Amino acid sequence: MSKMPIYHPQISVLLKKNIGRSNLANGLPASQRFTGTQRVIDLTPFIGENGRVVVRKSVRAPAGMFSVTLADKMPSFEAESLYALIEPMDVIEIRMALDTSVYARAGYEKSMPLMMRGFVTEIGREEAMVGGHDARPSRSIVISGQDYGKILTMMQIAYLPNMVTGQNLTTAFKFFLNYTGDMPIFQDASSFVEGIVSSVINPFIGEMWSAAASQPVSGGSSPVLGFQVDATVQNGIVSAVGTNAWPGGTVYTLLSYFGDVGPWNELFVEDREDAPYIVYRPNPFKDASGNFIQPMATPPAVNRITNDDIISVSVDRSDSNVANYYWVDNPRFALNDGATLQMGIAYQQIPGEFYLDNYENCSPKYYGFRQMLVQSQQGPRIDGLKEAAYNKGKSDYFNFLAKKRQVLMDSNKDNVVWESGRLVLKGNEAIRAGSFLQVQRGTLAGECYTVEVTNDFRPFHSYTTSVTYERGSGFIARSQMGSRAASPYLAELNLGGVYD
């Protein structure tokens, strides 16, 4: 007789006051109740039967999001609604777990995994009569916001008079402006990201910390933390000329544009116990044989799930991203335009370096002529050096483009066999955006890359984890399964599932 596991999912939601209000506008004073507001307010007891906490993180978005629905009841420490005590830019910290016994030794409330650390954006209050003929009043509060990626999107760099952030940007690029002799005028991409964080973003957060520390809030200092950086991209150089010509925008746009984010690299915010981290790394894509296309300093975590974890699955394959002609332009480093370079390579009669006309998974015989034309904002270091190094750099430049183009081809030439889809699972706090999932369904196994993870916690109802994934190898596994007599369909039918 099999045993049915019983879970008691738990959650912890803490509000950490960053804003302490002493006046409303034009010197109009606020009530003294705001002056004595606690620095840390535990919102967990206010998540009632109809409450809900949703946390979403993605490696494809500048910021994650959260939504917390609370019962609008008066707290014991203040004769006022939480609606009036919570402000935009207050800090939220959310933890949750399916099985708290794993964390019980240290007290699960504090040791459960951190799912999100972020800032409040909006506070809403709803009042209604619900229940038909025996209607009862219902009052709720909905708090929504974003993780620390919000800082990257709210910081605007504009070249206007007295634009403070723009001045910070100039300060951050002093290494571009104050070079002499043989000192390089380029910065490798990872150092570029680290420099922007240390010279532009963290000083802004430091000013916020100082302002919050002086607010009339009782207990502790400001809860705002500075960013740490986990940058592992190599062999890419950011140009001084390119950044000086940048027209402006958000800091996230600056980092993603010059970081070659998308075709080659990832940039996202990851919440770790000590601090929010800006993760900048090569795309952790594997080829059809399971080998990383780009070297990975630290491979992403791998989580294993089985049919017992799965509530629902949706999956698809498509030819929408098929390409057979690949070209990488590099206008910030190239003396010749892309058309001239294309002509030069064509005259060398090496079309296989950019045109896959005989590769079955993207052959124009099946899919027609399809282009993938991409610009890189990075290059090798070929200027600002002595003549011998510069002459060597000219050949390195073409090798650099060839490597960029090869990564683009290897990452996309098999798009027609990779799966995309969505899994809804019983709650699993270990699954994070930017990790791999090994999916075992019966005797059929596959792997996929998680680009977005949503944790949905409903007290007394359910705790589920939804995963949006790319580059799933399920179809590849099915296609490689034994002889005609072997049935992939039957192999995965030992379904079970969380409701069995």
* Closest CA relative to residue 13, chosen from 49, 41, 48: 41
> Which residue has better confidence, 106 or 283?
283
State pLDDT tens for residues 247-275. 778 899 999 999 999 999 999 999 999 99
Rg (Cα) of the chain, in Å, rounded? 26
> Which residue has better confidence, 22 or 440?
440
pTM: 0.88
Return the number of other C-beta atoms located less than 10 Å from residue 22's C-beta.
11
- The count of residues in the chain is 500
Q: Does the pLDDT at position 344 exceed 60?
A: no
Q: Does the pLDDT at position 242 exceed 80?
A: no
Percentage of the chain exceeding pLDDT 90 = 50
State pLDDT tens for residues 380-426. 765 545 545 545 555 577 788 889 999 999 999 999 999 999 999 99
> Which residue has better confidence, 132 or 307?
307
Q: What band does 34 get if pLDDT is binned at 50, 70 and 90? A: low
Q: Quick one: pLDDT at residue 107?
A: 61
Helices 202-213 and 164-172: crossing angle in degrees, nearest 10, is 130
> Which residue has better confidence, 168 or 422?
422
> Which residue has better confidence, 157 or 35?
157
Q: Does the pLDDT at position 179 exceed 50?
A: no
* Closest CA relative to residue 42, chosen from 81, 2, 15, 65: 15
Q: Quick one: pLDDT at residue 175?
A: 38
Q: Does the pLDDT at position 498 exceed 80?
A: no
CA dist list (Å): 427 to 100, 201, 361: 12, 34, 36
